[in-house]
Structure formats: structure tokens, C-alpha cells
Amino acid sequence: MGSFLASRLMTDIFGGLATGTVIALIALSLVIIWQSTHVLNFAQGAMGMFATFVGMNLVFHGLNYWWCLALSVVTGMALGALTERVLIRPLYGKPEINPIVVMIGFLGVLEAIIASIWTTNISMLPSPFSEIYYEAGRRTILVSPFVIYEVIVVALVLSGIALLFRRTNLGLQMRAAALSPEVSRLLGVRVGRLLTFGWALSTGVGTLAAVIVSTGQVLAPTNMDGIFVSAFIAAAVGGLESPTGAIIAGVSIGLVEQFILDFWSTSVAPLSGVIVLVIGLAIRPQGLFTRQVSRRV
């Protein structure tokens, strides 16, 4: 059994899962914000990193890791709510390109603010769990306590978000407010509050992903830039209406990248997201897990 878990195939699977689960978590945050407000947030990674710097820097001053994580998530949710109120709300009803341009600009602003405030002292963020791989006999299995922590977090968040949008009145109201705000208002739904909550929830999930990405690494404003691209592709391939699709597509990108890295070339591996995107959109352009809705014309 140990030799099988340490085989080349399982090594690639474990390595792909470690990367893919983080990609999936970020993709899930993009799907949340799309389902609740129908806006694509290109500053999601930078917003998560800003909240991560606010909370996790306190680790270096002796505060417990878990308290810092909680503070980061709360900060991210507050930042998401404030962003919706100040930057996005005036753009509702305007051309769809407007919020995209605004959030791209906000991305640059946030990374500049982070660099100007915090990067004078560059430190590595400690991990709450060991990152040393398990061993079976004399064989190394590419699974560590931290990787297991990542997978459990993604599973719990996915389950919670799926239940929220499919099984609760709050989730249904959020989706209705995004699709038809005027009708929702006529039915007594407080659309403004739900849109703000959608942004807060999305940024909270994105912050959790940013903390995981930065753990065991040097805190830097651009930690999320590269992985955000893969997450955006995962959200598009899985379908912006499907949290499950975002998770499956994110994990798939991680696995494809790992197998390309092992069997093909390190220079080709960064293109794994593009490969998944081309294949996924060729099969189903609207997203693999997006339901087609027939309309009478």
C-alpha cells in the first residue's frame, strides 16, 4: 500500500490536489460574487491579500495564528462590503464594462497600498500545521498535514456555499436580487443589503484562499496574481453559475498542471489553465456545469 501511495501516479495526484484545491477556493469566491451581483471582480486576489496583510502580520507580533486568520477574514468581508457600497453600487445599470475597468484599477491601487505600508519588513508566514510529507516505510507520500487542512477547508466552504444558495431563503434571495433587482424589490426583498452581503461573503472566501496561498511563504502583495488567473479560468470553465463547477474545474487545472510538469515540461505547465479552458469551452461554451435555459421568442 505504501509503495502505491508513493508511486509516480499518486505523487502527481497528491501534488495536483494541493494546488487545485486553492485554485478552486478562489474560483468559488468569483462564482459567489457573480451569483449575488453579476459582476466579475478582477481585484479579488488583491482584496484578499490586503486583508491577509492586515490580519496575518500580527502573527509576527505574537498573536495566535487562528485569531489572525479570523481577523483577516473579517477584514476581507468588511473590505468587500465597503467596495460594493462605494465603488460598485453607483455602476449598477451602467454598461457591464464599467465595473470591470474600475476593479482592474482598484487592483493596482490595493497592491500599491500594500507595498507602501507593509513590505519594508519581509517575513515568511508560519504554517499552523506541518508541511513535512508523510512516509510509508522508506517511501515518501506527497501528503502533509497542511495539505489535508487545505482539502478540508475547501470541502467545508463548498458545502456551506452550496447549502446557502440552494437550500436557504437568503441564498435564493441573493440570486433573485442579482438576476432581477426591480422585481425582487417589488416582492419585498432588500436588494441593496443582499448585494453588499454577496460582496462581503465573496471577499471573505477570497481572503481565506489568500491566507492559505501565503502560508509558508514570504508575504508579498502579488502572491495571488498568478493563481488568480488559473482561478478565473476555472470559474469560466466550470460555469459562473455553479459553485460545484468552480471546484471541479479548479482541481482539474491543478491536476493537469502537475501531470504536465512531471511528464512533459516545466515551461508548458503554466499553460495548463489555458489547455483546460480551450477543452472546456470547446465542449460547452457556456460552462461545463451551467444549465441551459430555453426561452420562448
Q: How far apart are CA 267 and CA 271, in angstroms?
A: 8
Give the sign of the dihedral formed by CA 259, CA 263, CA 268, CA 269: positive
Q: Which residues contact 146 (CB under 8 A, 6 or more apart)?
A: 127, 128, 129, 130, 131, 215, 216
What pLDDT score does 122 carry? 65
Using a 10 angstrom Cβ sphere, with 0-12 exposed, 13-18 middle and 19 or more buried, the burial of residue 113 is: middle
The mean pLDDT of the chain is 83
**Nearest to 181, CA basis, from 36, 33, 32, 30:** 36
Q: How far apart are CA 69 and CA 156, in angstroms?
A: 16
What pLDDT score does 1 carry? 55
Does residue 293 register a pLDDT over 50?
no
Give the sign of the dihedral formed by CA 143, CA 146, CA 151, CA 152: positive
pTM: 0.86
Domain boundaries, the chain: 2-221
Maximal CA-CA distance, the chain: 67
**Interval 57-62 mean pLDDT:** 88
235 or 287: whose pLDDT is higher? Answer: 235
Q: Which long-range contacts (CB under 8 A, 24 or more apart) does 50-53 make?
A: 50/75, 50/76, 50/79, 50/110, 50/113, 50/114, 51/75, 51/76, 51/79, 51/203, 51/207, 51/210, 52/76, 52/207, 52/210, 52/211, 52/214, 52/219, 53/114, 53/117, 53/118, 53/219, 53/221
What pLDDT score does 82 carry? 95
**Interval 202-228 mean pLDDT:** 90
What pLDDT score does 217 carry? 87
Per-residue model confidence as pLDDT tens digits over 137-196: 677 777 888 888 888 888 888 888 888 877 888 877 777 776 677 777 766 777 778 888
Angle at 67 between CA 65 and CA 71, to 5 degrees: 115
What pLDDT score does 168 carry? 82
**Interval 23-36 mean pLDDT:** 87
H/E stretch holding 208 reads: helix 191-214
**Interval 38-45 mean pLDDT:** 88
Does residue 40 register a pLDDT over 80?
yes
Per-residue model confidence as pLDDT tens digits over 223-278: 898 889 889 888 888 878 778 888 888 888 888 888 888 777 777 666 777 777 77
Taken as a whole, the chain contains a residue count of 297
75 or 252: whose pLDDT is higher? Answer: 75
